[in-house]
Amino acid sequence: MTSQQKKVTGASKRRQDISRPIFNESGIEIKKTYTAEDLEASGGVEMVGLPGEYPFTRGIHKEMYRKRPWTMRQYTGFGNPEDTNERFKFLIENGQTGLNVAFDLPSQIGLDSDDDLAIGEIGRVGMAVDSLKDFEVAFDGIDLEKITVSLTVNGSAAIMIAMYLAMAEKRGYDLSKLRGTAQNDILKEFIGRGTWIFPVEPSIKLVADTIEYCANIAPKYSPVSVCGYHIRESGADPAQEMAYGFVIAKAYTDLVLERGLDVDEFASRLSFNFNIYGNIFEQVAKFRAGRGLWAKIIKEEYGATNPRSMVLRMIAGGGGSGLTKEQPEVNIVRGAYYALISALSGAQTMALCCYDEAYTIPSQSAQQLSLRTMQVLIEEMGLCDTVDPLAGSYYIETLTNQMRERMEEIMQEVDEQGGIVKMVAEGTIQSKVSAQAYQLLQDIESGEFPKVGINCYQVDEKEPEVEYHPYAEDDARRQIERLGVLRDERDSSAVESTLAKLVDDAKEGVNVMPAIMAAVKAYATVGEMTDALVSVYGRYNEPVRF
């Protein structure tokens, strides 16, 4: 159908008219040449400093990759926990240094595998988790001290964090030393990705519960990874991506401070997740600007005194929106450039989209290729030799100043509109981001915004041969059967009493994490615990605005 309209085309409109001014995606005009004068006019080098020192623009550690390259953490998970455990082990054997767990949609939104709404979705986009038992299987044989685990889960994050901690404790790990991360950024789920469960207020209360609980029980664990990433994937520009991430991080910080914690007790465990596709220099400037800005916010606005509280620790990866269905091999090349961006930006952790992701759950070989892409940068291309290699470029330093200024303006705009929590609850931020996504698509379709394979250098192409990840109905059946066995075998009175306690604690408004931990250890299911919380909090009702 589409192939009839396609033809072989040449360069983009933009290349054909080089006299027009050029703006980056964040709306900053790019000059032909940058000099010391431009840098001075943008604010000079005041915020540059040295790596490992405030304001951390150049990196959060003195030695960065020279001491230890970024953690490689490909997003993985499908079918049931056994399948996922096998793929985890394959990736570790191939040099991966962290895990990034994908959960199926029922698990992400608090449904058990035997729920009617889960039909056709069990194990489809991630691994199915119903109870602690599934965590025990998924991480069997994996050394949780050597490999740090990131749980990509939000709506049901409080439950999944409890399952991870309970599993680790059962295996004899000391929780006070356990490292790991949960995504657990619910505000961005309301803007993009959509795995919310409860209304906005109780949802952010749960995030604060996890931060407070971890600060006491598992102080090295990162309970939240604030994601500009998905907001960018939903249509935000790079400056907005980071600015929205920061207003969200501030919203969580404010809630935790209200509970009487000191900012230095938890700020160092806040982590971040940002996107890497787009203009190379704009992204590098974005990350450098963001580090300086976050350090300044935590120090000056919140009065932190520990430098570790001020550092912007992040995973920088992905970039799915930059990839195309057209000429999918080109995505391998894009992925390599995205990895370069991430390395030049000083990210702590990297995860790359695989070239077949526009079609299917990545094949084993596509994931291996993503790992090799990162390993080539580390081993062959000199990316780990020196810290912040682009520092001192008139262009990069000027752009870093301009991006920081742009982010501050955007944060100010959010404040003027009543803050991010209000904007999310009313749906105004969702509407703004989606209007931008529409504008961008129109610009791509008209050729204003160049995209190789879509509006320039197109070829007539047939649907490529792709190794589609099969959906295993049998795995889903086995998951449901296993859940049935669990329900029969567990101590049902312990389940009932721990769930009743969870309801009581939710009603009282105290931190629900201890009650969730107790229910998890009694093998209560994700659905049962979610229902207990829904009985108190209710469910989110999505505002739809255009």
Partner 1 sequence: MNARRIRVLIAKPGLDGHDRGAKVVVRALIDAGFEVIYTGLRQPPAAVAQVALQEDVDVIGLSSMAGSHVSYCKRLKELLVEKGLDDKLWIIGGSIPAPDQEALRELGLDGIFPAGTRLEEIVDFINERCK
Q: Which residues bind partner 1 (CB under 8 A)?
A: 1-2, 5, 105-106, 108-109, 111, 117-121, 124-125, 189, 192-196, 233-235, 324-326, 358-360, 434-435, 437-438, 441-442, 445, 454, 463, 466, 468, 471, 542, 544, 546
Task: State which residue, 414 or 433, has the beta carbon closest to partner 1.
Answer: 433
Task: State which residue, 348 or 367, has the beta carbon closest to partner 1.
Answer: 367
Measured from the CB of residue 268, what is the shortest distance to partner 1 in angstroms?
31
**Identity at 3, one-letter amino acid code:** S
Measured from the CB of residue 208, what is the shortest distance to partner 1 in angstroms?
23
Classify residue 434 by its DSSP letter.
Answer: H
Containing 225, the helix (H) or strand (E) segment is: strand 224-227
Task: State which residue, 353 or 495, has the beta carbon closest to partner 1.
Answer: 353
Measured from the CB of residue 103, what is the shortest distance to partner 1 in angstroms?
11
Alpha carbon 171 to its chain centroid, in Å, reads 28
**Identity at 290, one-letter amino acid code:** G
Radius of gyration of the chain (CA): 23
Distance, in Å, from the CA atom of 391 to the CA atom of 378, rounded to the nearest integer, reads 19
Residues 6+ apart with CB under 8 A from 140: 85
Task: State which residue, 148 or 367, has the beta carbon closest to partner 1.
Answer: 367
SS3 at position 379: helix
Task: State which residue, 76 or 148, has the beta carbon closest to partner 1.
Answer: 76
Measured from the CB of residue 38, what is the shortest distance to partner 1 in angstroms?
36
CB 295 within 8 A of CB 304: no
Measured from the CB of residue 401, what is the shortest distance to partner 1 in angstroms?
31
**Identity at 425, one-letter amino acid code:** A
Containing 57, the helix (H) or strand (E) segment is: none
Classify residue 462 by its DSSP letter.
Answer: P
Distance, in Å, from the CA atom of 129 to the CA atom of 160, rounded to the nearest integer, reads 9
Task: State which residue, 125 or 332, has the beta carbon closest to partner 1.
Answer: 125
Measured from the CB of residue 155, what is the shortest distance to partner 1 in angstroms?
9
Measured from the CB of residue 542, what is the shortest distance to partner 1 in angstroms?
4
Measured from the CB of residue 134, what is the shortest distance to partner 1 in angstroms?
18
**What one-character-per-residue DSSP string does 96-157 give?**
--EEEEEB-HHHHTT--TTSGGGTTTTTSSSB---SHHHHHHHTTT--TTTSEEEEE--TTH
Task: State which residue, 261 or 358, has the beta carbon closest to partner 1.
Answer: 358
SS3 breakdown of the chain: % helix, strand, coil, rounded to 5?
50, 10, 40
SS3 at position 77: coil
In residues, how long is the chain? 546
Task: State which residue, 20 or 462, has the beta carbon closest to partner 1.
Answer: 462
Task: State which residue, 8 or 544, has the beta carbon closest to partner 1.
Answer: 544
Which of 544, 546, 522 minimizes the C-alpha distance to 532?
A: 522
Measured from the CB of residue 1, what is the shortest distance to partner 1 in angstroms?
8
